[in-house]
Structure 1
Amino acid sequence: MTARDAMLARIRSKTAKGSDETRRAAVDARLAQHPRNLIPERGIGDEDHRVRVFTEMMQAVGGSVEIVNDLNDVPDSISDYLRNSNLPAHVRRGSDPVLARLPWHRGTLEVAQGRAEETDRASVTRAFAGIAETGTIIQVSGQDNPTTLNFLPEVHIVVLEASAVFASYEEAWTKLRDEFGEGIMPRTVNMISGPSRTGDIEQTIVRPAHGPKNMHVIIVR
């Protein structure tokens, strides 16, 4: 027995209760039950309340939020945002079926499809969910919304349905299990709270750090 084995054996003798099989069973039971942690009251409320809190929290970390009533207004909103930001009228999106059905042809906006490229200035993705308590976007990887679109372009534009804004993370994980199946996960789940930034140097906020300089969320009622 090595010194490490001896140390771990002493720890187990003081902390272990029951056999390894008993402990494994207890862990499996807890994972199967999906117990929820303490839920902050901040995000709890009706849809209007959740959207309002999400907006406040996203803006607090440097993101911007726009609310539209009709999904078909999204292309016009993106065009206005790019023009007001002095950016080219060009975005890249994935193969998300909801984004694919939008009337991109109405204006002068150029739309490319696929993974982000180094020359892309702006991307548009559809969020899996939004979390009111922290103003966080949940993105899942895949061809519908490639992960590179979240981080490579200078500007990340996110389309988020108001009905997908939840009070807490636990509700978003429940939706994830319901849609993908128990024990099945997408390759990546990204939780994004505002544009990329850092305060490592003298606690001075610098944007960007390792991702988009700006993040704009369009909430569709």
Structure 2
Amino acid sequence: MSKAEILANIRHGLKRGAATEAQREATLERIRAHKPTIIPKRSQLDQPGQIQLFREMASAAAAELIDIQSLNQLPSAVAAWLNQHQFKTLVSASDECLNQLDWSALGEINREQRVARSGDLASLTTSMAGIAETGTLMLYSRPESPTTLNFLPDCHLVLLKESDIVGSYEDAWNRLREKHPNSMPRTVNMITGPSRSADIGQKLQMGAHGPCVLVIFILRDV
């Protein structure tokens, strides 16, 4: 059942029709008037401080960080990581910034632009923001980057620009609202390190609900 059908059933149960234009505008006005919550002091830093904090927090969450000096270096850096781990296929998002690159450095490694499927070992996506507060990545779903890429493969490779690192969650949400002022993405994912769980016997298990490896390629501001 689609979201539209679910909401229609709820309206039917409440004996309400579709929202009027005035009701929609009132809702949008409440969203636009959103007030930020408390911002942790540790994230109230200048940009260099936010970048350093993100690195520290992401590393503490067991993410692997790889620096690149230019976007053109990404294919070689990705190829080196995949070859090191003997992966032969990369499932990739089809963002414009990725498609404009020369991926010949992958050699015999296949780069497939599609949704992820069970059994895929490695995926590559971009990220909208890095949140220094907790070393968290913000990603959102869209046709060129389906959410399956974020969770199904064992290893998730992510491109993050230093210029997209912000201090707090509120800063990241504000960026998303500015990018999508009229309609939010269907799915927004917050990813902090590899998936893990200690629910069973208090023993930490990596990859319990998603990728067991998170690699962040950080594009330096130079």
In 1, Cα distance between equivalents of 2:31 and 2:77 = 42
Which residue number in structure 2 is paired with residue 92 of structure 1? 91
Amino acid at match of 2:123: S
Once the two structures are superposed, residues 30-54 of structure 1 have per-residue CA deviations (whole angstroms, 9 ceiling, x without a partner) of: 5432211111122232332222211
Structure 1 unmatched runs, 5+: 1-25
Which residue number in structure 2 is paired with residue 219 of structure 1? 218
Which residue number in structure 1 is paired with residue 190 of structure 2? 191
Which residue number in structure 2 is paired with residue 11 of structure 1? none
Which residue number in structure 1 is paired with residue 112 of structure 2? 112
Secondary structure of the residue that 1:59 maps to in structure 2? helix
Amino acid at match of 1:205: L
In 1, Cα distance between equivalents of 2:142 and 2:28 = 29
Secondary structure of the residue that 2:178 maps to in structure 1? helix
Structure 1 moving runs of 4+ over 4 Å: 26-30
Which residue number in structure 2 is paired with residue 18 of structure 1? none
Which residue number in structure 2 is paired with residue 61 of structure 1? 61
Which residue number in structure 2 is paired with residue 131 of structure 1? 131
TM-score with structure 1 setting the length? 0.82
Once superposed, what is the RMSD of the aligned Cα atoms? 1.8
TM-score with structure 2 setting the length? 0.81
Contact 1:57 1:134 (8 Å CA) reproduced: yes
Once the two structures are superposed, residues 164-218 of structure 1 have per-residue CA deviations (whole angstroms, 9 ceiling, x without a partner) of: 1110111111111111114x11100011111110011232210111100100001
Amino acid at match of 1:110: N
CA-CA distance at 1:27 after TM superposition: 9.0
Structure 2 unmatched runs, 5+: 1-25
Secondary structure of the residue that 2:196 maps to in structure 1? coil
Which residue number in structure 2 is paired with residue 72 of structure 1? 72
In 2, Cα distance between equivalents of 1:132 and 1:147 = 22
Percent identity between the two aligned chains: 39
